Amino acid sequence: MSTLHLDGFLPYRLSIASNRVSNVIATAYQAMFGLKIPEWRLVAVLAEGEGMSQQALGVMTRMDKVTVSRAAIGLVERGLVKREPNPHDQRSHLLRLTRSGEELYEQVAPKALELERRIFAEFEEKEIGQLRSMLERLEDAAAGFEVEAT
Amino acid sequence: MSTLHLDGFLPYRLSIASNRVSNVIATAYQAMFGLKIPEWRLVAVLAEGEGMSQQALGVMTRMDKVTVSRAAIGLVERGLVKREPNPHDQRSHLLRLTRSGEELYEQVAPKALELERRIFAEFEEKEIGQLRSMLERLEDAAAGFEVEAT
DNA sequence: GGAAACTGGTATCAATTGAAACTAACTACC
DNA sequence: GGTAGTTAGTTTCAATTGATACCAGTTTCC
């Protein structure tokens, strides 16, 4: 009889830990700025490279195009993002933070970093680097399986 | 202006990696055995310590009692789990794997372990241990914040 | 021993998410 | 230059999930 302790099963532990962390973050953003995670991700990406199409945003944030679409609509409605025509392709628009979107970002970013710091407060620098690298490799490994499944 | 690269933001990376891994696992279980993740978790726990109430299962699997309830109903319907009266509390039942539930487990467990091994194939033993420990600490850290939020 | 508070479990409801279908626009290629 | 196939984005639909309300049974405590 093969033994499998759920507690020792890494995909399980990963899921639990990730969900808890996501909850903390989601609750904090919602409470502080009324932002959902997908919205926040778009803001974060737009704050760096402005003038992106939604499909580019999808690649950057690894989110489904439906999720991106909804987040973009929400942000435009709230005046945080504006759409400018894309001279090269009339199907898409270039998204850009508005002035108030930029202001929001200036508020959110430090809070996000602080939250990250507090969550990982008891981790050493070296550990954080290792975790980062392992998560990256995991992402790639899992991506490989997804193809296989299809 | 504060800079926050989404790509470097650990809660984001954690979420992406975890979601991908969960997808792989969920797809595999669904395809191989028609099990959803919550169902599979119950089976795994019941295979070790039998005769548990749903509330105990909720603690063990860290799942919401609603999720446990639904998974339990599904498993009972499919004859993988049976409910026995709980002599100490008539509100609850003691859940137990049926014979065919045990047989299923005997099939699923090795597949699960193999999948885990393949996903983490490129990780060294030492790394896996570190990851395990970090996820545990993360879980605890995040749990602390959740209280704070309430 | 009975009312009040609590607990195990289920049902109902709303939110989130992705898959699939659809529209409009674009590209290839004959 | 017109048709077939593709791509950007939205809408619609179904599945999953958790919060809330609820019911039945249990504990507390006067």
Contact assessment for residue B32 and residue B39, using Cβ atoms and an 8 Å cutoff? no
pLDDT of B146 higher than 80: no
Alpha helices in A3-89 (DSSP H): 10-33, 37-48, 54-61, 65-77
In order of their start, the domains of chain B are 10-119 (1.10.10.10)
Length of chain B: 150
Residue A61 CB closer than 7 angstroms to strand D? Answer: no
Each residue's pLDDT tens digit, A7-17: 999 999 999 99
What is the reported pLDDT for A2? 63
Query: Which residues sit opposite B95 in a β-bridge?
Result: B52, B83
B:71-90 Cβ neighbours of strand C under 7 Å: 72-73, 89
Nearest Cα residue in chain A from B42 = A6
Contact A127, A133 (CB under 8 A): no
Predicted pLDDT of residue B94: 93
Stretch A90-107: mean pLDDT: 94
| pLDDT given at position A147 | 56
| Per-residue pLDDT at B1 exceeds 60 | no
Whether the Cβ atoms of residue B11 and residue A119 lie closer than 8 Å to each other? yes
A36 pLDDT above the threshold of 60: yes
Substitution target in B37, B145, B148 with the highest count of A β-carbons within 10 Å is B145
Nearest to residue B139, comparing CAs of B12, B35, B44, B14? B14
Give the model's pLDDT for residue A51.
87
Q: Which among A14, A41, A141 has the least Cβ separation from residue B18? A: A14
A3: helix, strand or coil: coil
pLDDT interval class at A127 (50, 70, 90): very high
Instruction: Name the residue type at position B9.
Output: F
CA-CA distance, B14 to B16, in Å (whole number)? 6
Output the pLDDT for position A149. 46
Nearest residue of B to residue A4, measured between CA atoms? B109
Q: pLDDT at position B150, please? A: 38
From CA A57, how far away is CA B25, in angstroms rounded?
Answer: 27
> Does residue A1 surpass a pLDDT of 70?
no
pLDDT digits (tens, 9 = 90+) for B63-117: 999 999 999 999 999 999 999 988 888 899 999 999 999 999 999 999 999 999 9
What per-residue confidence (pLDDT) applies to A50? 77
Q: Which of A124, A127, A24 is nearest to B144 (CA)?
A: A24
Question: Residue B49: which pLDDT band, with cuts at 50, 70 and 90?
Answer: confident
CB B62 within 8 A of CB A13: no
Residue B60 has pLDDT above 70, yes or no: yes
Q: Give residue-wise pLDDT tens across range A41-52.
A: 999 999 988 789
Listed residue (B115, B13, B71) closest to A11, CA to CA: B115
- How far: A126 CA to D28 C1' (Å)? 52
CA angle A75, A78, A83 (to 5 degrees): 55
Fill in the amino acid letter for B109: A
CB atoms B132 and A31 under 8 Å:
no
What confidence tier does B2 reach under pLDDT thresholds 50, 70, 90? Answer: low
